[in-house]
Structure 1
């Protein structure tokens, strides 16, 4: 039983009705010149500028960011409920100097935990620079220096 017989049986058609509905071309298709076929297609060529890789976290172009001055924000928190304002500044890719000297110990731990997560999400860094003072930087601002190493290894 051939393929045609299966189709006929599936639709309960006679052979004549089936062949009337099926177009069978015994003619060979005309061969087109390959040059003509190519001229019928258009190719979208992308320029080199479309292939550049850009950091999606950056809200300003790299050239503008490099030429602009770093913006530093000083914050002093007394309670955990105010930590959202610091997170907003960090999400704007700004440097934050955070003073927690007057903040209770339990709130200080929560604030540092929260802001560590914000810094991590932005590929930033958080370092203690003195007793209860911290610097939080975005990903494009490296922190280096002997003083930072000393404070980090001390028992404040």
Structure 2
């Protein structure tokens, strides 16, 4: 019987036999369920755990503690008044870089006072726009 199948295939290949070999029948392919994507789940209790921490650093050494708060996805308010210009600039530059890596924002809310917020915190308010538009954004007074 196996020899007959082979002979029929050879004849069909050469074009002598008109009979097509039987096409194997397959069952319907198994349906693989699509990988379900989990929706974004927001913990309601987490909202109450969010807090804002206020810092008034006296030296550059405190910048690590402030950036740890940002890394833990908490907003911080930093008051740089009373610092010498060089130290204030270094702290502002360091924290701006920290917030940038977290896709966050920096807003000036007063003379020498800034809010640094990670991307999970929105900063809104009409006074913020007035403060920003009233001063040259490239010049930050400390």
Q: Which has the higher helix share?
A: 1
Shift of 1:81: 2.1
Matched, 1:121 2:107: no
CA RMSD, Structure 1 to Structure 2 (Å): 2.7
- Structure 1 pair 68–45 and aligned structure 2 pair: CA distance change class (3 A): same
Structure 1 distance, partners of 2:114, 2:44, is: 24
Residue 46 of structure 1 corresponds to 34
Higher relative CO (Cα under 8 Å, sequence separation at least 6) belongs to 2
Deviation by residue 1:121-150 (Cα, 9 ceiling, x = unmatched): 111111111111111112132222221122
The one of 111, 116, 119 equivalent to 2:91 is 111
Shift of 1:51: 2.5
- Structure 1 pair 110–143 and aligned structure 2 pair: CA distance change class (3 A): same
Shift of 1:154: 3.5
Do 1:124 and 1:137's aligned partners in 2 also have CA atoms closer than 8 Å? yes
Matched, 1:143 2:123: yes
Shift of 1:78: 1.2
Residue 90 of structure 1 corresponds to 70
Residue 68 of structure 1 corresponds to 47
Do 1:79 and 1:104's aligned partners in 2 also have CA atoms closer than 8 Å? no
The normalised TM-score by structure 1 is 0.62
Do 1:83 and 1:111's aligned partners in 2 also have CA atoms closer than 8 Å? yes
The normalised TM-score by structure 2 is 0.68
Alignment partner of 2:43: what SS?
helix
Aligned length: 118
